[in-house]
Amino acid sequence: MPEYRAPLDEMNFVVDQLHDLSALAHAIDNEDASVELLDAVLSESDKLANQVWSPLNATGDQQGVKLTDDGVKSADGFAEAYRQYAEGGWNSLYFDPQYGGQGLPFTLSMPVSEMAQAANMALGLCPMLTAGAIEAIHAHGSDELKGIYLEKMISGAWTGTMNLTEPHAGTDLAVLKTTATPVDDHYLIKGQKIFITWGDHDMTDNIVHLVLARMPDAPAGVKGISLFLVPKYLVNADGTLGARNDAYAINVEHKMGIHASPTCVMSYGDNGGAVGYLIGQPNQGLVAMFTMMNNERLVVGLQGVALSDRAYQHALEYARERVQCVAPGQRERSAIIHHPDVRRMLMTMRSLTEASRAVCYLTATQIDLSQMASDMEQRALARQRVGLLTPIAKGWCTEIAQEVTSHGVQIHGGMGFIEETGAAQHQRDARILPIYEGTTGIQALDLVGRKTLSDNGAAMARLIADMRADIVRHGDQVSSPQLAMLSDGVDGLEQAYEKLLAESGDDPMLPGAISYDMLMLAGYVCGGWQMLRSAALVSSVDNSTFVANKKATVAYYLEHMLPRFKANLESLLAGSASVMAISADML
């Protein structure tokens, strides 16, 4: 099977031209964020992804991980591949230079993350979780905790995890039972957590767990949850590792996909209590954890892009090689890439992948502006845009990954259902993405609730205004029917959120009943908006083949993918009546 190769021209275009790297660098006063640096980052990261990480993808899937008396053993080659990643400085790109980071924009880390996830998502999950833990500690931890842990984590010498879910509680964090009892300058943590990605492994000397737990006499529900840092090994005053903490993996899950990523059941305090340190304020654990969660949600959306691209590359190579039947316009049996239906699937895969990449990278750019723009008004507007785009990027990009990876299997035909071709792994690995870090339903509820109803549609109205401004600005770059379709899509998005605002007060079931369709509608329209901008900005690229292919992909998206918004809109306008018509006990 083919090894992954990063689409360097496309990544460069999206970061540099589509999302205007020079303007971003100016806005956040970061002169290091140059086109020359971007080229170097992309080129070197591609080498690691292609030559080191990608060859371990299939073997790791076949071998999996193993829980032994000495802890979890990673798949063969993973520890060395991770070491090369850490030593190359890839873990530190956008973090605070005070703790060893390189201080680059978050946006520049997006293509690096995409390459890692596409080359080997099972392995890529480890630094992904570490990055989120770093952000939470940096934003909410004490100076003492930052001094002890951040440099090691930013360098990649230590990794991090996120511990929320418990056996009796999935998304419902209000019923968490893990406890934290104060003792001197720390707490003793007792409880069990499940679904902990890379909860234990042998790739680094230490693992830093971020654990949600309740202090004694904490208020009931989510208002009584605090966040604690619980290291696998305690750290001595001189920075060396000390005693083993009372935190152990007691099981690894047997999963549908990502077999080489250990998903652990973690037990804290079986031998008296695991030493933990409070992060942030008591009973404010969700505030701190959501700093980590929001990072993970965007990168999970990016994982959808990554696996879509990997599946597309795999299917494209197979379609070029597999000879079957006589295609229209051919005189002899030919490669299946000449058959219109195969071409339809490949163009669907290609266009959805490019649109979803543009949406994810846009969200990252807005994150940079929300945190570092020198203009405070620009920072505030970007913060609003990040809140609106994050559930769309996470929800829509992971949902379309299901379709794209499925097409990858379909193009392989019967061989796609056979594991040795590797096509099935992409689909199996992608299936977790709409579940990770808040399901699609939760992202959809976030979009209609906290991101639309809560501000009376202000953020959505501003997004729609920006889309309409670009339709006026760049409308001559696409055909009249294509432009009309995008205009209709933007109108449909406005119609959808206006219905939500107008009728939710009288129908409490409405937001939940229409939220999925609103999220998918927003995704397709945001993708169309970015594709229009791509058609306008690609002309500046000095590569005629790339320009022609981009314009053709834009045309396909606007003509064949964007019209899907109409079905979402019609379903949404139908409201909640038929959704809730059959009683729960009769379903």
Instruction: Encode pLDDT of 16-63 as tens digits.
Output: 999 999 999 999 999 899 999 999 999 999 999 999 999 999 999 999
- Whole-number pLDDT of residue 329: 84
Q: Are 214 and 224 in contact (CB under 8 A)?
A: yes
Mean pLDDT of the chain: 96
Q: How far apart are CA 362 and CA 359, in angstroms?
A: 5
Q: pTM of the prediction? A: 0.96
C-alpha–C-alpha distance, residues 281 and 225, integer Å: 10
Nearest-CA neighbor of 335 among 352, 311, 315, 355?
Answer: 315
Collapsed DSSP state (helix, strand, coil) of residue 579: coil
d(CA 104, CA 112): 12
> Quick one: pLDDT band at residue 170, thresholds 50, 70, 90?
low
Residue 320: phi, psi to the nearest 5? -75, -25
Beta bridge partners of 537: none
Please write the tens of the pLDDT for every residue from 114-142: 999 999 999 999 999 999 999 999 999 99
Range with the poorest average pLDDT among 65-79, 279-293, 383-397, 550-564: 279-293
Residues 153/207, Cβ–Cβ less than 8 Å:
no
Exactly one of 437, 494, 503, 559 is catalytic; which is it?
A: 437
Cβ contacts of residue 436 below 8 Å, gap of 6+? 296, 300, 303, 398
551 pLDDT higher than 80? yes
Q: Containing H/E element for 229? A: strand 226-231
Query: Are 334 and 321 contacting, i.e. CB atoms less than 8 angstroms apart?
Result: no
Q: Which residues contact 334 (CB under 8 A, 6 or more apart)?
A: 323, 325, 326, 327
**Percent of the chain residues topping a pLDDT of 90:** 92
pLDDT at 462: 98
For 309-319, what is the mean pLDDT?
98
Interval 392-397 mean pLDDT = 98
Mean pLDDT over residues 442-446, rounded?
A: 96
Query: Hey, CA dihedral for 200, 204, 210, 214, is it positive or negative?
Result: positive
Mean pLDDT of 531-538: 98
The pLDDT of residue 445: 96
Mean pLDDT for the stretch of residues 156-179:
86
Question: How high is the pLDDT of residue 175?
Answer: 78
DSSP state letters, 117-148: HHH-HHHHHHHHHHHHHHHHHHHHS-HHHHHH
| Tens-digit pLDDT profile for residues 364-394 | 999 999 999 999 999 999 999 999 999 999 9
What pLDDT is recorded for position 387?
96
Residue 222 to residue 479: CA distance in whole angstroms: 51
As a whole number, mean pLDDT of residues 546-562 equals: 98
Calculate mean pLDDT across residues 504-521: 97
Under the banding of pLDDT at 50, 70 and 90, the label for residue 330 is confident
Give the ranges where 213-336 is alpha helix by DSSP (H).
285-321
For the question of residue 36 being annotated catalytic, the response is no
Cα gap 34→538, rounded to integer Å: 19
Q: Given this model, what pLDDT does residue 64 score?
A: 98
pLDDT at 573: 97
H-state helical runs in 440-505: 440-448, 458-474, 480-503
Instruction: Tell me the per-residue pLDDT of 194-244, one tens digit each, with 9 for 90 and over.
Output: 999 999 999 999 999 999 999 998 998 889 999 999 999 999 999 999 999
Q: Are strands 158-163 and 206-213 parallel, antiparallel or unpaired?
A: parallel
Cα dihedral sign for 83, 85, 87, 91?
Answer: negative
Give the closest residue to 442 by CA, choosing from 170, 212, 193, 166. 170
**560, 451, 578, 460: which is closest to 514 by C-alpha?**
578
Q: Domain-by-domain residue ranges, the chain?
A: 439-579
What is the pLDDT at residue 326? 82
**Is residue 423 predicted with pLDDT exceeding 90?**
yes
Tell me the pairing of strands 186-197 and 206-213: unpaired
